[in-house]
Structure formats: C-alpha cells, structure tokens
C-alpha cells in the first residue's frame, strides 16, 4: 500500500504493508523515540499524537496513518529547543532510564492541550496509561505541573500543602 502522512512536520511517502503496526513502521523510519514496551496497549511507551490526539502506536495499523499528521516526542522539541515539558522533565529529575519519557511527554502534551490548568490528580489520571519503572511518578507529576505553569497560569497544579515527596504512587 502506498501512503503518505506527515511525521513531525515532514511529508513521508512509503510503500508499506497496511497490516504492519504503526510502531514498527515509525521505528523503521528512524523515529526511535517511539518505544515499544509491552506491545499490547498497556504501557504507553509507544505514544504518539495523531492529528493532535494521543494514540498508542502499537495498536495502530499502518493503513490508519494515511493522510494523518503524526507527532512523536522528537516533534515536540529538540535538545537545542526543548518543549517546556521536556525541559521540565529534565529539571525536575523526572527522567531516569528515559525509556518511558517520550511517551510520557506525548501523553502530557495531549493532556495540557485539553486541560491547560490540571490539578495534580488530573495529571495523574491523564498519565495513568503511561508506566514508568524508575521514578515513582512524583517527579513526573511535578514536571508536568511545572510545564503547565510555564505554558499558562495553571494555579491548580501546585504541590498541595502537606504532601511530601513519595506520597504519589503509580497513577
Ligand atoms: S508498547 Fe504500546 S502501549 Fe506498550
Ligand atoms: S524513567 Fe525509566 S521507565 Fe521511566
């Protein structure tokens, strides 16, 4: 099947098996920031935006990409010009091994696009489909709240009084 789509702003034309999984095609196209963890829709590592909507690329087929606008974490920002979320993850220690980070930042960007002033609970719920095996989530929520405050007002995302680091477990 011949198809075209945009990937991080660049037009891509490919001849691919329509039944191939999107995560595999994207990685073949060198979008190596799209990770495969579980391959079954459980971990969120393969998260991408499709026309601005958060999707799991391990559950998408190539045929579903035709004519779409795809964004991976590399399309949010670069090392030289990071997205506020990417900078906040680095500054708040929300990255350890980094495997979940591209998917987390994609999910967080979709969350903030829908809800620019989330509470910490809303951030936890918004990221509940993205698993991290390293950080314990407190720093990830801190980072998303910091980015929300940078991008807008987001007063709801302050650390609540009396909440000590470590009180937030898996979202
Ligand atoms: S690899 Fe897609 S959700 Fe885990
Ligand atoms: S930083 Fe290692 S899995 Fe999240």
pLDDT digits (tens, 9 = 90+) for 118-161: 999 999 999 999 999 997 899 999 999 999 999 987 777 876 55
Instruction: Specify the pLDDT at position 155.
Output: 79
Least confident range of 13-17, 34-38, 131-135, 154-158: 154-158
Assigned CATH class of 84-157: mainly alpha
Q: Where in the chain is the domain with CATH 3.10.20.30?
A: 2-75
Q: Is the CB of 107 under 6 A from ligand 1?
A: no
Q: Which ligand is nearest to the CA of 89?
A: 2
Instruction: Specify the pLDDT at position 135.
Output: 78
Q: Where in the chain is the domain with CATH 1.10.150.120?
A: 84-157
| CA separation for the pair 154, 79 (Å, rounded) | 25
| pTM for this entry | 0.92
Instruction: Specify the pLDDT at position 71.
Output: 98
Q: Cβ distance 2 to 15 under 8 Å?
A: yes
Task: Inform me whether the pLDDT recorded for 97 exceeds 50.
Answer: yes
Using the atom order of ligand 2, give the atom closest to the CA of residue 104.
4
Q: Is the CB of 122 under 6 A from ligand 1?
A: no
- What's the pLDDT band for 101 if we cut at 50, 70, 90? very high
Q: Which long-range contacts (CB under 8 A, 24 or more apart) does 79-82 make?
A: none
Strand order in the sheet with 2-7: 10-15, 2-7, 69-71, 47-50, 53-56
Q: Fold for 2-75, please state it.
A: Ubiquitin-like (UB roll) (3.10.20)
Q: Cβ distance 22 to 64 under 8 Å?
A: yes
- What's the pLDDT band for 12 if we cut at 50, 70, 90? very high
Task: Inform me whether the pLDDT recorded for 163 exceeds 90.
Answer: no
Task: Inform me whether the pLDDT recorded for 45 exceeds 80.
Answer: yes
Strand 47-50 to 69-71 pairing? antiparallel
Q: Which ligand is nearest to the CA of 134?
A: 2
């Amino acid at each position: 099947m011949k198809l075209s789509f945009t990937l991080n702003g660049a037009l891509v034309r490919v001849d691919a098996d329509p039944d191939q999984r999107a995560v595999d095609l994207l990685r073949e196209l060198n979008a190596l920031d799209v990770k495969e963890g579980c391959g079954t829709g459980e971990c969120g590592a393969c998260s991408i935006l499709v026309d601005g909507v958060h999707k799991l690329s391990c559950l998408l087929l190539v045929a579903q990409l035709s004519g779409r606008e795809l964004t991976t974490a590399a399309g949010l920002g670069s090392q030289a010009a990071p997205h506020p979320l990417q900078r906040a993850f680095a500054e708040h220690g929300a990255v350890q091994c980094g495997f979940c980070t591209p998917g987390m930042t994609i999910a967080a960007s979709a969350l903030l696009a829908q809800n620019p002033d989330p509470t910490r609970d809303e951030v936890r719920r918004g990221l509940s489909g993205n698993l991290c095996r390293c950080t314990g989530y407190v720093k990830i929520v801190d980072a998303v709240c910091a980015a929300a405050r940078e991008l807008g007002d987001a007063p709801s995302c302050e650390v609540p009084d009396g909440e000590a680091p470590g009180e937030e477990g898996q979202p």
